[in-house]
Amino acid sequence: MCARFVLAAAEKVILAAYAAEMEAEYKQNWNIAVTNESFVITADKPHAIQSMHFGIIPWTSQTGKLEKQTFNSKTRNLLTSKIWRPLFEQHKRCLVLSTGFYEWKKIPNETSREDREPYLFTLKDRPLYAYAGLWSQWRDPETKEPYRTFSIVTTESNDLVGEVHDKHRMPVILSKENEDLWLSKDISPSALLNICVPFPDELMNRVRVSKRINAVNKKKVPNNDEGLILPENSL
């Protein structure tokens, strides 16, 4: 699973890496949680970097609210799910830009989730990369205003992530070559499943970070600063 991630690259680095234009004001974010806004590149507008909310709200929603755990979509369900299949087959695919993601490790005799140890996962060769994602647009029935949301596609974890994450899932991290494939409208959905594989362990870093990351907000103030990604200790 991937419910919390980081996008802390400088704006000029993002623009250079993806040769695209930023369509919304960009701010670094070290603690992106479900319902928060972050940045994606869609198959429909590959030269634009758009801001969307984390967690899919289907276009058929009656409430416009996140009612299920639709922040992640599983690879094995992309061609069968009533939510994911239409998006996957109708090219509602996107790159979710990131510089790292968090997972939590259970510890013996824990009494609450707050007792779990958080770890940050990054790539060794690319400080900025993209997850395979899906996106959707819901429109307010009264105002007609669009509300765009995205989901991160997940697959089985590699060993590095699996040693921490008890459900053995991880986001689909795309190689640079596969980013273009994921956005392509000329490749069949079934063929795209071949690139939804665990990222190689040897190309990733893992460090334990402060439990301060466990809170999205503290006393209604965003818990969001560069100190969240500083290593406490290596596993």
pLDDT tens series, the chain, 235 aa: 689 999 999 999 999 999 999 999 999 999 999 999 999 999 999 999 999 999 999 888 777 777 778 899 999 999 999 999 999 999 999 999 999 999 999 887 766 667 789 999 999 999 999 999 999 999 888 888 899 999 999 999 999 999 998 888 999 999 999 999 999 999 999 999 999 999 999 999 999 999 999 989 887 788 999 999 999 864 4
d(CA 129, CA 53): 19
**pLDDT for 235:** 43
pLDDT score, position 59: 83
pLDDT of the residue at 234: 45
Rounded distance between C-alpha atoms, residue 26 and residue 61, angstroms? 28
Question: What is the residue extent of each domain of the chain?
Answer: 4-233
- The rounded Cα 68 to chain-centroid distance in angstroms is 16
Residue 1 confidence (pLDDT): 66
At residue 112, the pLDDT reads: 66
- Position 2 scores a pLDDT of 84
Identify which of 133, 157, 112, 141 has the alpha carbon closest to the alpha carbon of residue 32.
133
CA distance 97 to 40: 6
Q: Does domain 4-233 have CATH number 3.90.1680.10?
A: yes
Question: Which residue, among 91, 99, 94, has the nearest Cα to 31 in the 3D structure?
Answer: 99
The burial of 51, by beta-carbon neighbours within 10 Å (0-12 exposed, 13-18 middle, 19 or more buried), is given as middle
Taking the C-alpha atoms of residue 222 and residue 216, their distance in angstroms, rounded to an integer, is 6
Q: Is 205 in contact with 173 (CB distance < 8 Å)?
A: no
Q: What is the DSSP string of the chain?
A: ---EEEE-S-HHHHHHHHT-EE-S----EEEEETT-EEEEEESS-TTEEEEEEES---TT-SS-S--S-TTEEEGGGTTT-TTHHHHHHTT-EEEEEESEEEEEE--TT--SGGGSEEEEEEESS-SSEEEEEEEEEEE-TTT--EEEEEEEEEEE--HHHHTT-TT-EEE-EEPHHHHHHHH-SSS-HHHHGGG--PPPGGGEEEEEE-GGGG-SEETTEE---GGGGSEEE--
pLDDT digits (tens, 9 = 90+) for 94-105: 999 999 999 999
Q: Quick count: other Cβ atoms within 10 Å of Cβ 67?
A: 12
Q: Looking at the chain, how many residues does it have?
A: 235
